Amino acid sequence: MKSTLRVLGLLGAALWAIPAWAQEGIVLTGVEASRDKQYGYLGVVMPLSGQRLGQGFVQRYWLDYNAYRYEKQPYQYIDSAATAVEAALGYQGSTARSWWAAYLGANYADTRLSPNDPDNDNLGGQWHARLQFEGETDVAEGWRGNGIVSYLVGDFNYWARLRLQTTLKNQLFIGPELVVQGDLYYDAYQVGMYVGNIPLGQSTALTLKGGLAQSSNESASLYLGAEFFIPF
């Protein structure tokens, strides 16, 4: 929990460092924690010159921190913590009923292990290309589906999330979510619920989520998280 709070503080400080030249865009930031895993991120998405969000080419910058524990052999556990930065170009499209986006980026991650595991190929600083696809569309009357798939090329590092949502009378979004993620050394799954579009001020929206998380060879535990959507 202390490490999660430190990440939240770092992300908050970085939020104030968004370049003053940015005239239109979206800040995406959040934290999530369970017994076996902690994650925090700060991202900025802005259109390229002459383009606009939702319909054209965009630039995407991302900073995140990911910590988890894996079992190398019976009763020998390794704590992994990685800080990563990423710059990507993408294209967004939208219609009256749906939207989608695709990104190709360069990702640099610095991974630290305790105790050291020389057999872990992720140790130290490494560059990889990232592919990411995301979108949302109507799936039934009153319900929409939202999905994200992300993959680090050459590293077998994947993350995917599927959400269903309906809109309440007070304009809040609510629904279930399923997350699968992992790499060569661990796999994790999450099943939970989220409440989104919680207004904070004029334009910022908050999403709260929680449920059960399970990592490889471990019992399930509770996870909780918060996400912020901040247009500027």
- Proportion of the chain above pLDDT 70, given as a percent: 90
Q: What is the mean pLDDT of residues 186-203?
A: 94
Instruction: Answer yes or no: are the C-beta atoms of 68 and 34 closer than 8 Å.
Output: no
Every domain of the chain and the residues it spans: 2-18+27-231
* Predicted TM-score of the model (pTM): 0.86
Q: What is the pLDDT of residue 176?
A: 98
Query: What's the 3-state SS for 128-179?
Result: EEEEEEEEEEEEECCEEEEEEEEEECCCCEEEEEEEEEEECCCCCEEEEEEE
Q: Alpha-carbon distance 165 to 177, whole Å?
A: 9
Highest mean pLDDT among 13-27, 128-142, 211-225: 128-142
Class of domain 2-18+27-231: mainly beta
Q: Is the pLDDT of residue 175 over 90?
A: yes
pLDDT by residue (tens digit) across 120-138? 988 999 999 999 999 999 9
* CA proximity to 161, closest of 44, 59, 41, 74: 41
Q: What is the pLDDT of residue 19?
A: 45
Q: Which two tokens stand for residue 207?
A: 């999403």
Phi, psi dihedral angles at 8 (to 5 degrees): -60, -40
Instruction: Answer yes or no: are the C-beta atoms of 216 and 71 closer than 8 Å.
Output: yes
Half-sphere exposure of residue 85, counting CA atoms within 13 Å on the CB side? 3
Q: What is the mean pLDDT of residues 51-67?
A: 96
